[in-house]
Amino acid sequence: MKKGIVLYQSKYGATKKYAEWLAGKTGFDCVELKKAEAWQVAEYETVVLGGGIYASGIAGLSFLRKNWERLREKKLAVFAVGAAPYDEAAFAAVCGQNLRGELAEIPCFYCRGGWDPEKMSLVDRTLCKMLRKAVAKKDPATLEPWEKALCEAGDSACDWTDHWYLEPLVRYLREV
């Protein structure tokens, strides 16, 4: 049986970057989720799935749900990549919403990604501008961390990716 694989679904590149860094740190294979075959993934002892957070959903989790019977006995982990700074309560809510049922016991780790309106699709860019306008009308003292980050980023490209976000996940993967 093969040691481990990092699967990822990346829309704008940050999740791919983390997946490649994680593969380098662990020696695991790294495969884009759309190229992954469940029967091949099932040959690994450890499966890590990385996906971006979009509208409070973690991209790629449908693969784990769809292939649960093949993967349930594996060591599993998820890392979610978002543009907002880490906020324990907000991330717990995202995990609770996404990792339900059979996925509830899978550990989930947060990695901060990036923000680049130039790379966004027209739909994403338009939705973010609308959201930013709505947030700008709020009292700054009442803003959630993600709302503050949205306003601060504005139309500028920001890259918050950093290897150290992976350290808790790497420690987990090294546990027996």
Q: What percent of the chain has pLDDT over 90?
A: 65
Residue 152 CB-density burial (10 A; 0-12 exposed, 13-18 middle, 19+ buried): exposed
Name the residue with higher pLDDT: 140 or 68: 68
pTM confidence score: 0.87
Question: CB-based contacts of 64: which residues, under 8 Å, 6+ apart?
Answer: 49, 71, 76, 78, 103, 106
φ and ψ of 82, to 5 deg: -135, 160
Q: Which of 124, 85, 120, 109 is nearest to 22 (CA)?
A: 109
Between the two ends of the chain, the Cα-to-Cα distance in Å is 16
Q: What is the pLDDT of residue 3?
A: 94
Residue with tokens 């509830």: 104
Question: In the predicted model, what is the mean pLDDT of the chain?
Answer: 91
**Tens digit of each residue's pLDDT (9 = 90 or more) over 79-108:** 999 988 898 988 999 999 999 999 999 999
- Contact assessment for residue 92 and residue 99, using Cβ atoms and an 8 Å cutoff: no
